[in-house]
Each structure stands twice: as C-alpha cells, then as structure tokens.
Amino acid sequence: MSGPVYDRVALIGLGLIAGSMAHAMREKGLAREVVGHARSAETRAVAREIGLVDRVTECAAEAVEGADLIVLAVPVGAMEEVAREIAPRLKGGATVTDVGSVKKAVIDGVAPHLPEGVHFVPAHPLAGTEHSGPRSGFASLFRNRWCILVPNGADRAAVDRLADLWRGMGANVDEMDADHHDLVLAVTSHTPHLIAYTMVGVADDLRRVTDSEVIKYSAAGFRDFTRIAASDPTMWRDVFLTNKDATLEILGRFTEELFALQRAIRTGDGDHLHAYFTRTRAIRRGIIEAGQDTEAPDFGRAGVTR
C-alpha cells in the first residue's frame, strides 16, 4: 500500500488503542493529519507533551471537523453521548467507526444520531494490553492481530477503505454481523475476563493464604489472572452491561463445565479429567499455530516489541 488511506483522522479518546493507531498511522504514513480529543484535561496535556497526534482539541466536535475518518475510542457506555455531540459537525462522506468490544449496543447507541451521507462501520481490533492511557500505545500493537468489521449495511467502498487502514497498521481483517461478534467475544474475551476478575477476588477473600504468599508464588498461574484483571475497570463495566445476554449464556455454559469437573474430582474420575485437559490443550496448540501467541516462556509476553 502506498500513500495515505485518509487525509484527516479524528481520534475521540486517546488511550491504548487510539494511541497505538496514532503511532501506527504515523509510522506507515496512513493519514496526512491525525487530530485527537480526550475528555480528561490531563490526558490532553500528556498527548500534547508526547506529540501523540498532530493536533489536540478541547472538544470532540472540534476534532471531527473536516475529518474523513472518525474513530470513537471511548468506553462503550459513552459512545452515544459522543455521537450526539459530534453529529452536527461531521462532513458528508465521512466514515465513523469505533474500537469497542461490543457491537450491537454500539450500533443501537450511535447509528440513530449520525446524519445521512455519513458512513458508519463499527470495528473491533482484538488487541490490547493491561495498560491504559496516552503513554501506553505502540505502533506494533495490531501486528498479526485480528480486526473485526461489522458492515451493518454500510457503503462497500467505505468498508473496504477502513479495512485497508487496518491492514496498513498490520492487522488481519474479518467481517461478521453484530450479534455473532458479541457471542464470539463473550467466549474469547468477556467471560475469561470475568473469570479472571473473580479468581483474583477469591484470592483476596482467602485469608488462609497471605498476601505475601499470593504475590510470591503467583507464577504458578495466578499471575496470569492478575494480568487480565488489571484491565481498565470502566471499559469492562460497560462491556458486561452492554453484552449482557451473550455473556450470561457463556457463563451458564462455563458453570455447567465447572460442575462436571467438580464431580470428576470428587468421584476420582481421572479418565474424564485427562480427556478434558487433552481437548483444551489442543485448543491452545491451535492458538499458537494460528500465530496468535508463541510457545516461549511467559506466555510469549517477554518478547513483545513496542
């Protein structure tokens, strides 16, 4: 790909994902100008200090003026309010997208406020770390990760153009409808996060295990729960409240599986446990073979390049 995909990109929200997009677009020359806005004055100040974007604005409506692409990178629960604020300032032919972990609630909240002639292409990059804020982004975050687009009847040229941007930032691109996306993410992301939060909470409640022991021996597995459970609490609160049905469905299935394992342990059914662990190990191998992780120690995290 040669030359910019968009002339002006407006990033509304300047955390990990938007910051990584800014770094990646600059590194690959994918936009002529990147404008940014964040609700927090402190975040705006840091973004200016580190030169995260070309220009930082005091309000979201100002940031979107003249922009060809507007990226909503705020918590899912805040997107409707942002859409309402920026709608009057959007130029005809612009594309609005988002990076939220839930899609149906975003479509329901954002789409009604966008004027005719503005394309809306929801998106979800399946990439991240436990860090947040304007200093947390890095250009390689999306490399060989998947970005799911939800065209939702949008203009095909607008969808393809957005796909070109994500590919330019190193991502693989797929498309699916909103309901299926939300179910898939309930399995692969939302429920695992809820389980991680729960496990860390359980450890905190077990007074027979001291805090020092939890920290000292965390490499036994607990450490990896804490990494996930360190994610942004506002974002995850909104995810669970807006993807309620799919998350509850998968949690119900998880509970059934957990009861079956409890029964196998109680009755000494080693065959069931061995067969179950063999099947789950094969899933792990599939993730590695797909290039979404490595077999290196530390779950591949030690070698992450920023």
Asked if residue 205 belongs to a domain, the reply is yes
Q: What is the mean pLDDT of residues 116-130?
A: 93
Shared-domain flag, residues 151 and 195: no
In a domain, 296, yes or no: no
**Are 13 and 49 in the same domain?**
yes
Residue 149 and residue 69 share a domain: yes
pTM across the whole model:
0.81
The count of C-alpha atoms lying within 13 angstroms of the C-alpha of 129, restricted to the half-sphere facing its C-beta, is: 21
User: CA 228 to CA 141: how far, in whole Å?
Assistant: 16
210 and 250 both lie in a single domain: yes
CATH of the domain at 77: 3.40.50.720
Helix (H) / strand (E) element for 96: namely: strand 95-98
Evaluate whether residue 300 is within a structural domain: no
Residues 82 and 229 occupy one common structural domain: no
Give the pLDDT confidence of 151-206 residue by residue, as tens digits. 999 999 999 999 999 999 999 999 999 999 999 999 888 888 888 888 877 777 76
Per the prediction, the chain carries an average pLDDT of: 89
Residue 48 lies in a domain: yes
Q: Which of 10-19, 21-30, 73-82, 273-282 bottoms out in mean pLDDT, i.e. has the lowest? A: 273-282
Q: Residue 300 pLDDT more than 70?
A: no
- Which residue pairs, CB below 8 angstroms and at least 24 apart, start in 222-228? 224/299, 225/195, 225/196, 225/199, 225/200, 226/196, 226/200, 227/130, 228/130, 228/192, 228/193, 228/196, 228/197
Q: Does the residue 290 lie in any domain?
A: no
* Model pLDDT for residues 68-116, shown as the tens digit of each residue: 999 999 999 999 999 999 999 999 999 999 999 999 999 999 999 999 9
Backbone angles phi, psi at 120, to 5 degrees: -120, 115
Higher pLDDT: 20 or 187? It is: 20
- Quote the pLDDT of residue 239: 86
Instruction: Encode pLDDT of 40-62 as tens digits.
Output: 999 999 999 999 999 999 999 99
One domain for residues 252 and 198: yes
Tell which wins on pLDDT, 254 or 72. 72
Does an H or E element contain 105, and which? helix 104-110
Do 155 and 218 lie in one domain? The reply is no
Please give the pLDDT value at position 192. 84
Q: Quick one: 155 and 51 in the same domain? A: yes
Q: Are 62 and 10 in contact (CB under 8 A)?
A: no
Rounded to an integer, the average pLDDT of 121-143 is 92
**206 Cβ contact partners less than 8 Å away, ≥ 6 residues apart:** none
Distance CA 135, CA 173 (A): 26
CATH number at residue 218: 1.10.3660.10
Residue ending a domain, choose from 123, 145, 176? 176
Where b means 16+ CB within 10 Å and e means fewer, 162-177 reads: bbebbbbbbbbbeebe
Number of Cβ within 10 Å of residue 49's Cβ equals: 11
Q: What percent of the chain stands above pLDDT 90? A: 64
In a domain, 96, yes or no: yes
Q: Are residues 115 and 216 in the same domain?
A: no
Write out the residue range of the structural domain in which residue 261 sits. Answer: 180-268
Structural domain count of the chain: 2
Report whether pLDDT(305) > 70.
no
Query: Is 15 part of a structural domain of the chain?
Result: yes
Same domain, 238 and 170: no
Residues 41 and 158 in one domain: yes
- Mean pLDDT within 255-273: 93
Is 144 found in the same domain as 252? no
Residue 263 falls inside a structural domain? yes
